[in-house]
A and B are shown apart, each in its own frame.
Chain A
Amino acid sequence: MNMIEVKNLTKKFAEVSAVDSVTFNVTKGEVFGLLGPNGAGKTTTIRMLCCLISKTSGEARIAGYSIGNSADSLAIRKLIGLVPDNIGLYEELTAYENLDYYGKLYECPEAQRKERIEYFLKMMDLWDKRDQPINDFSKGMKQKVAISRALIHDPKLLFFDEPTANLDPESAKVVRDFILKLKKEGKTIFINTHNLDEAQRICDRIGILKTKLLAVNTPEQLEKTVWGNIRTVIQVEQITDPILAAVRKLNPKDLSVEGNNLILTLTDPQKENPDFVQQIVSAGGRILNVTQLNPGLEETYIKVIQETK
């Protein structure tokens, strides 16, 4: 089931396109990451999907509700939780008061509200600080409260806009681990991020946006699509002619030898690697190491973005 369905979604400010004819789907329980440079339209996309700003054209549905329909907007906003790039908490109010306020706005009954505030503040290790004004909190602590705020009404779909931006590594890890926990709970999560490592670790699928959606796929498939074949390096104790002959029998796309490394170009390494390993071992080879020469998401991303220039 699709939680988010986007078809030719476009947003123009005056005559400038911020988001141009974007199409993608996000299935229930999926973590979808949107990558893109500054000004690529990531925040605008989230804002449109959260019914904060209008679309210029195209269609988008959240759990079946249309974002262009004002009657559906309230229903959508009840279903979603948003963690914006700016934390946006009330500095004079305590952590508890901030969450209580949003609990009321999200129409949570009092008992449920109290229970959930206690649950989140305890989980975030902030229960002892519940009566302290937000003003006294560190950035990481504030981000934890902001995430709790987005979850206070138990939303089905969560939008994170740069959730770990400006956080120290330890706080960023806490946030990432929490997102993974939410994923395990079956929440559908949509993340805007600059952090490619984070995207690779958290996201099931990734979209690369630069006003237009340039690519959408799983991180692995994205690399494969962008780079074509992938190279595998098999380090053998000693490369002999029978070993080379055995490897050639499997018809790799390309084969080269560098020292005691066999460098193979393969279409589907996960499928083909075991066959090559077996052939080498059968030919009397002793394998020391098998490595994939992975270009990585960062290089893939840069290649996709540069191709648009």
Chain B
Amino acid sequence: MRLSKAWIVASKDFKTFTKRKSILYTIIYFEVIVSIGLPLLMRFVVSRNNKVSVGSYLPTLLDAFSFLYVIGAALAPLGIASYSLIGEKVQKSLEPLLATPTTDEEILAGKSIAAFLPAIVANYIGALIFTVLMDLFTYSTLKSLYFPNSNFAIILFLLAPLACILSVGYNILVSSKVNDVRSAYQFGTLILVPLGAVYLLSELKVFSLTTGIMLIIAAVLAVTDGIVFYLVKTTFRREEILTKWK
């Protein structure tokens, strides 16, 4: 597989996304809510409550918020991944694309990069803003900088990319079965259910998101990514695309 070819495919998609503002918004809106909205909310909570009482539950709250970056990483590529393939289907541009000297793997890699890269970059920019604002608003209460910490590093550099990859792969599978971007997006959001469940269960104290638990989640995500991309590879074959994708 030539990465240069995959990059050509991805670059074309980046160019398309910049011209389709609605796709860009699907990446940005969650990041804005979590990265700016939550710290502002935290500032409000801190300013309205007794510092001692807030200080006792603040770390738990910050850890819970941190996990939203895993959910965000899975949510952000949905719009792009949906449009990337459904757009080709709707415009019937897959046949001329497949007639070029580009392999199925290169096209698939290009499409995956096009969905993964902007999503993960947006997630990291959001996380950086979140870190700065949260530290700014909680420093006076905690008397130390809560972020960065090891758990947040695991979330950002292990769980978030794995969740993002899973979302991209799952969405490619969904896109092969449906014909419009909205349906692909709606079916695609189902990938958030297990991640949301993890978040909810941790909030309900069924388990805590300790380093060990997060590493187990990472292992499960990695195995699932492998399975999903194996399925994607068997689905993303030119003959399959031209004769069975409707």
Contacts and interface: CB of A to CB of B under 8 A. Distances in A.
Contacts of A75: 101
A82 B12 contact: no
A101 B15 CA distance: 11
B95 A82 contact: yes
Contact of B99 (A13, A80, A91): A80
Interface residues of B, number: 25
Central interface residue in B12, B99, B239, B243, by most chain A CB within 10 Å: B99
Nearest to A48: B239
A50 interface: yes
Interface stretch (B86-94, B157-165, B182-190, B206-214): B86-94
Nearest to A161: B95
Contacts of A178: none
A146 B96 contact: yes
A74 B24 CA distance: 35
B101 A84 contact: no
A165 to B, nearest CB: 13
A102 B101 contact: no
B20 A92 contact: yes
Given A84-B99, A88-B93, 16 more contacts: A52-B239, A53-B243, A75-B101, A77-B101, A80-B99, A82-B96, A84-B92, A86-B92, A88-B91, A88-B94, A88-B95, A90-B16, A93-B15, A101-B8, A106-B101, A149-B96
Nearest to B8: A104
Nearest to B92: A86
A47 B100 contact: no
A84 B8 CA distance: 22
A141 interface: no
A133 B91 CA distance: 14
B173 to A, nearest CB: 21
Interface string A1-29: 00000000000010000000000000000
Contacts of A97: 15
B239 A87 contact: no
Contact of B101 (A13, A74, A150): A74
B92 A88 contact: yes
B5 interface: yes
Contacts of A111: none
Interface residue SS majority, chain B: helix
20 contacts: A52-B238, A52-B239, A53-B242, A53-B243, A54-B239, A74-B101, A75-B101, A80-B99, A84-B92, A87-B92, A90-B12, A90-B93, A92-B16, A93-B12, A93-B15, A93-B16, A101-B8, A102-B100, A105-B5, A105-B100
Interface string A59-88: 000000000000000110110101010111
B102 interface: yes
B216 interface: no
Central interface residue in A13, A47, A75, A133, by most chain B CB within 10 Å: A47
Nearest to A106: B100
Contact of B8 (A74, A88, A89, A105): A105
A52 B99 contact: yes
Contacts of B93: 88-90
A102 B99 CA distance: 10
Nearest to B98: A52
Given A52-B238, A84-B96, A86-B92, A92 B101 contact: no
B93 to A, nearest CB: 4
B16 A53 contact: no
B103 interface: yes
A80 B98 CA distance: 12
A177 interface: no
B23 to A, nearest CB: 10
